[in-house]
């Protein structure tokens, strides 16, 4: 039997020493791996005010793909946070989804836990799903739907042998289950030497529970990679229909890949370094599926000798290396050139060469941006993007950047002042913005013309770092609506009125889980810079009240793209 990576909680040990009853499985539905604010738990009872069926509907309605790593991390925390058990369904009524279909709820099965695992997998959070399963599910579980999720997790990670061992471990309870039998047949086929015995196993009968398995095992490709379900993806990996060739072929389409496929390809064990993985890693970081630390580990691998890292600082290295490896070389060039003039030149070169890459490609480099000379004339064209990247990754600006020299004996404002105001609101944003417009008219015209939500962000909704919400939020929103026609200069996306009204109500009632879930359902697929300006404050208010002040600041920075 597979040794679990996490120690079972005390509750699990008490309940599951020999097995698990239906009632016991219901008890683990809301258990999680995030158990305190320090390790990322969303504070309080996140499912407060919800019945079991209502919580299930919200979880199933969450998007799979998110437009920002902020949303991805919120979804991850929502699904992994430990919480008390859910209340009984109200008045015996079965809720319906947005299409009027009833939400199926088995009173004896851990449906909410299964839905959380399914959503984590669909999001590409395979390791999080694995650690959640290991932490709360008993070794000898009687619910085969839970066993099936464990099988999917292991297959998606390329660990079919471990999945087959776990399948044998539950043979006593589940060998009579038709799904268990077909999975067992998959294991027998894949681990046979081949030849006549393999052909016999394939032809002895059809796969009824998992009909796609017959096709995959006969070498008929999965096809339609973007539309594969979690189950299909797991079987495609297990039967090697998704392989290193798939990885290389799909790298150029990384930005359009569904999150689970992106995660599977990035985590695929190829045995050797594959340059395309760097492109997949950058896209994974951009979405929040992996961390900056993961990207740094990849960037720091010794791919090239020092000569390539030190010579021709202002040139594009792509002619000598695989295009996906350009960020790695530029990162190592910046790290290798420790003298400030040379490092500044290399940073400028990186921003030029990698200009079409997402900000995530630069997050590992932000540690080296702190010494960038913000007053050098050659550096000023780069300050706006570099400042946003640094603030987003570090949650602060370097101390040397926070003050700007007086100009002609008058108080000075930096050209990147909007970023500074988002990170550390002073309470004097209106006066400072007027000063900024006067001293930096080119930057002000460019940013205000592109980002009409800027006045809303600066002082109207963003709060200090204690996470408290502005006292005058409603009044300021009304004031902003009066000038909205003058600033409505691009296309915005807006959720339904009913959803935003419900979101506003649950935020006021401090129903944290509902507010985070509705934020994700309403806005998760909308890039922050396309949220309608008056609703920017609603999103920030929800984040602040949930104790997620850092995410509200990051949201503000993403609005200012």
pLDDT higher than threshold 50 for residue 17: no
Residues 428 and 552 in one domain: yes
DSSP characters over 375-411: T-TTTGGGHHHHHHHHHHHHSS--GGGSS---BTTB-
pLDDT interval class at 298 (50, 70, 90)? very high
| pLDDT score recorded for residue 141 | 83
Q: Is the domain of 435 the same as that of 360?
A: no
> Interhelix angle for 230-238 vs 178-190, to 10°?
30
Beta bridge partners of 87: 51
**Distance between CA atoms of 335 and 353, rounded to whole angstroms?**
17
CB–CB of 299/276 below 8 Å?
no
Task: Say how many C-beta atoms besides its own lie within 10 A of residue 272's C-beta.
Answer: 5
> Measured between alpha carbons, how far is 200 from 394 in angstroms, rounded to an integer?
59
Q: Can you give the pLDDT at residue 85?
A: 83
Length of the chain: 561
Q: Which residue has the tokens 């292991």?
A: 154
CA distance 420 to 441: 17
Asked whether residue 121 is domain-assigned, the answer is: yes
Domain count, the chain: 3
Q: What is the pLDDT of residue 91?
A: 60
The span from the CA of 244 to the CA of 235, in Å, is 16
Structure tokens at 348: 């400028």
Instruction: Tell me whether residue 554 is in a domain.
Output: yes
- For the segment 170-188, what is each residue's pLDDT rounded down to a tens digit? 999 999 999 999 999 999 9
For residue 96, the cross-strand partners are 102
CA distance 544 to 522: 17
Calpha distance 389→364 (Å, rounded): 10
Domain co-membership, 143 together with 37: yes
The tens digit of pLDDT for each residue in 480-492 reads 444 444 344 445 5
Q: Tokens for 273? A: 């370094």
Three-state secondary structure of 339-371: CHHHHHHHHHHHHHHCCCCCHHHHHHHHHHHCC
Four-residue CA torsion sign, 243, 246, 251, 256? negative
State whether 393 and 419 are in the same domain: no
Query: Could you identify the residue written with the tokens 């836990």?
Result: 113
Question: Residue 307: which domain range?
Answer: 291-399
Residue 14 in any domain: the answer is yes
* β-bridge partners, 493: 531
Q: 461 with 557, same domain?
A: yes
Q: Are 507 and 367 contained in the same domain? A: no
Is there a single domain that holds both residue 192 and residue 322? no
Tell the burial category of 11 from Cβ atoms under 10 Å away from its Cβ (0-12, 13-18, 19+): middle
Please give the model's pTM, rounded to 2 decimal places: 0.87
What is the spatial distance between Cα 450 and Cα 91, in angstroms, rounded to a whole number? 50
CA distance 149 to 153: 6
Q: What is the tens place of the pLDDT at every residue in 120-168?
A: 999 999 999 999 999 999 887 889 999 999 999 999 999 999 999 999 9
Q: What is the pLDDT of residue 257?
A: 95
Which helix H or strand E contains 461, and what residues bound it? none
Q: CB–CB of 351/384 below 8 Å?
A: no
First to last CA, the chain: 50
What are the phi and psi torsion angles at 454 (to 5°)? -55, -50
Strand locations in 187-304 (E): none
pLDDT at 281 (0 to 100)? 96
Which of residues 367, 399, 431 is at a domain's end? 399
Is 452 found in the same domain as 505? yes
Number of Cβ atoms within 10 Å of the Cβ of 6:
13
Residue 440 domain flag: yes
Q: Quick check: is 404 in a domain?
A: no
Winning range, highest mean pLDDT, from 2-11, 303-312, 528-537: 528-537
* Domain end marker among 399, 433, 464: 399
For the four alpha carbons of 438, 444, 449 and 452, in that order, the dihedral sign comes to negative
Rounded CA-CA distance 60/105 in Å is 12
- 214-227 tens-digit pLDDT: 889 888 876 777 78
Res 548: pLDDT: 84
Please check whether residue 242 lies inside any domain of the structure.
Answer: no
Same domain, 128 and 186: yes
* DSSP category for residue 464: -
Contact (CB, 8 A) for 432 and 421 = yes
Neighbour-count burial for 371-410, b at 16+ CB within 10 Å, e otherwise: ebebeeeebeebbbebbbbbbbbeeebbeebeebeeeeee
Same domain membership, residue 436 and residue 311: no
Same-domain pairing of 372 and 448? no
- Identify the residue with better confidence: 45 or 64: 64
For residues 506-516, one letter each, b for 16 or more C-beta atoms within 10 angstroms of the residue's C-beta and e for the rest, the string is bbeeebbbbbb
DSSP 484-504: HHHH--S--B---HHHHHHHH
Q: 337: part of which helix (H) or strand (E)?
A: none
Using CA atoms, how far apart are residues 243 and 20, in angstroms rounded to an integer? 37
Band of residue 69 on the pLDDT scale cut at 50, 70, 90: very high
Residues 239, 160: Cα–Cα separation, whole Å: 9
- Output phi, psi for 96, to 5 deg: -120, 155
Q: What is the mean pLDDT of the chain?
A: 82
Determine, yes or no, domain membership for 248: no
499-552 residue pLDDT tens = 888 888 888 888 888 889 999 999 999 999 888 777 888 888 888 878 888 898
The pLDDT of residue 478 is: 45
pLDDT of residue 495 exceeding 80: no
Helix (H) or strand (E) holding 44: none
Long-range pairs for 239-243: beta carbons < 8 A, 24 or more residues apart: 239/186, 239/190, 239/213, 241/216, 243/268
Tokens of residue 327, six digits: 């960020």
Domain boundary among the residues 161, 192, 217 is at 217
pLDDT at residue 198 tops 90: no
Q: Are residues 212 and 322 in the same domain?
A: no
Read off the tokens for 3.
Answer: 């040794």
**Assigned token pair, 229:** 């379900």
Q: How far apart are CA 46 and CA 160, in angstroms?
A: 35
pLDDT in tens, 92-101: 556 565 566 6
For residue 263, being part of any structural domain is answered with no
């Amino acid at each position: 039997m597979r040794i679990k990576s996490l120690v079972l909680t005390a509750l699990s040990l008490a309940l599951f020493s020999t097995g698990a009853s239906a009632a016991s499985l219901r008890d683990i539905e809301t258990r999680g791996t995030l158990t305190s604010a320090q390790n990322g738990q969303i504070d309080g009872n996140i499912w407060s005010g919800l019945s079991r069926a209502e919580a299930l509907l919200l979880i199933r309605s969450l998007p799979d793909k998110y437009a920002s790593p902020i949303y991805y991390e919120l979804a991850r925390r929502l699904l992994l946070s430990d919480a008390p058990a859910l209340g009984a369904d109200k008045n015996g009524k079965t809720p319906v989804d947005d299409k009027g279909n009833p939400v199926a709820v088995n009173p004896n099965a851990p449906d909410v836990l299964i839905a959380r695992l399914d959503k984590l997998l669909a999001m590409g959070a395979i390791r999080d799903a694995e650690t959640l399963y290991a932490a709360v599910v008993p070794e000898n579980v009687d619910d085969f739907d839970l066993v099936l999720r464990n099988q999917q997790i292991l297959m998606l990670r390329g660990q079919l042998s471990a999945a087959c061992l776990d399948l044998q471990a539950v043979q006593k309870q589940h060998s009579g289950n038709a799904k268990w039998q077909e999975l067992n047949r998959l294991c027998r086929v894949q681990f046979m030497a081949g030849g006549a015995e393999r052909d016999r196993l394939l032809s002895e009968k059809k796969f009824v529970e998992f009909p796609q398995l017959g096709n995959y095992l006969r070498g008929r490709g999965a096809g339609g990679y973007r539309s594969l379900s979690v189950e299909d993806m797991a079987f495609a990996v297990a039967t090697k229909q998704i392989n290193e060739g798939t990885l290389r072929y799909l790298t150029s389409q990384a930005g359009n890949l569904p999150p689970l496929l992106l995660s599977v390809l990035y985590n695929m064990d190829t045995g050797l370094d594959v340059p395309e993985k760097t492109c997949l890693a950058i896209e994974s970081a951009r979405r929040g599926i992996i961390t900056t630390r993961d990207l740094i580990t990849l960037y720091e691998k010794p791919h090239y000798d020092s000569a390539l890292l030190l010579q021709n600082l202002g040139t594009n290295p792509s002619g000598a290396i695989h295009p996906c490896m350009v960020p790695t070389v530029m990162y190592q060039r910046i790290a290798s050139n420790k003298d400030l003039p040379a490092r500044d030149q290399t940073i400028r070169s990186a921003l030029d060469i990698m200009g079409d890459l997402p900000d995530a490609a630069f997050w590992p480099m932000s540690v080296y941006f702190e010494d960038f000379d913000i007053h050098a004339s050659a550096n000023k064209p780069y300050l706006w993007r570099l400042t946003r990247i640094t603030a987003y990754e570090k949650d602060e600006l370097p101390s040397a950047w926070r003050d700007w020299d007086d100009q002609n004996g008058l108080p000075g404002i930096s050209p990147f002042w909007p970023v500074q105001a988002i990170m550390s609101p002073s309470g004097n944003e209106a006066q400072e913005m007027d000063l900024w417009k006067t001293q930096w008219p080119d930057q002000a015209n460019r940013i205000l013309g592109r980002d009409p939500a800027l006045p809303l962000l600066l002082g109207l909704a963003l709060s200090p770092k204690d996470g408290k919400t502005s006292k005058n939020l409603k009044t300021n929103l009304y004031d902003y609506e009066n000038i909205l026609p003058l600033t409505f200069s691009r296309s915005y996306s807006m959720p339904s009125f009913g959803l935003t009204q419900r979101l506003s109500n649950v935020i006021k009632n401090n129903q944290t889980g509902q507010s985070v879930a509705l934020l994700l359902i309403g806005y998760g697929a909308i890039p922050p810079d396309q949220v309608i300006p008056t609703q920017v404050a609603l999103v920030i208010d929800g984040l602040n009240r949930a104790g997620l002040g850092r995410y509200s600041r990051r949201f503000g920075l993403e609005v200012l793209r």
